Amino acid sequence: MNMEKVRAGFFIILAMTLNFGFFYGDMDSMAYHDKYELLAAIVVNLIATTLKLGDRTQIGSVLLATSLVADIQLIAAATVWTIVAYTSEITPATTVIIVSLSGGALLANIVSVILYVGDTLKSKR
């Protein structure tokens, strides 16, 4: 068993599930979206990104690209949330923006998991 692949797969899938946990819920109500879950999704996505840095294959490049997209989307969501929280009050419209940004990151994470599983199925022993 390749522990490097296990560790990378763990963080790739954990990043997607944490992102889904934040994304799931009513789009215009912050009661369903927790700031600490968003923070956990960002941290785990950044860890997953660093684990993908050493892969020099074509699929590794695409996995890194999807991870970078997810990082940017999640950091943008946290930035919008922080700015709005400190400058005005969070409205349903700003909640939709924050959750939509995390939805884009979720889509990138889903693509990353599909590519990872496909690469795993394709690889030979």
Query: Mean pLDDT in the chain?
Result: 92
Q: What is the value of pTM for the model shown? A: 0.91
Mean per-residue pLDDT, 6-21? 94
- Whether the predicted pLDDT of 108 surpasses 80: yes
Evaluate the CA torsion angle 8, 14, 15, 17 in order and state its sign.
positive
pLDDT at 99: 95
* Cα–Cα distance for residue pair 93/59, rounded to 1 Å: 37
Structural domain containing residue 103: 3-122
Helices (H), 53-91: 58-87
Q: What is the pLDDT of residues 43-78, one digit of tens each?
A: 999 999 999 887 788 888 999 999 999 999 999 999
What total of structural domains would you count in the chain? 1
